[in-house]
Amino acid sequence: MEIAARLAKVTALIISRDVVIDYALYGTPELALVANNKAEILQFRGR
């Protein structure tokens, strides 16, 4: 993957503080986004 494309993904993640934490845990932007989406779905179902 090109560095510019990877930086764009990481920059997009930084917009959401919770996702940044996921990024630190999971190591890649893709996994962080998947984990964050699952968490949001679970929260929505819990209401």
| pLDDT tops 60 at residue 4 | yes
Q: In this structure, what token pair is assigned to residue 3?
A: 């560095």
From residue 2, alpha-carbon distances to 8, 30, 40 in Å are 10, 15, 29
From residue 10, alpha-carbon distances to 2, 16, 33, 47 in Å are 13, 11, 10, 30
pLDDT-based confidence at 13, cuts 50/70/90?
A: low
Cβ neighbours of residue 36 closer than 8 Å, sequence gap 6 or more = 16, 18, 19, 22
- What pLDDT does 30 receive? 74
* Structural domains in the chain (count): 1
| Structural domain boundaries enclosing 40 | 3-46
- What pLDDT does 21 receive? 61
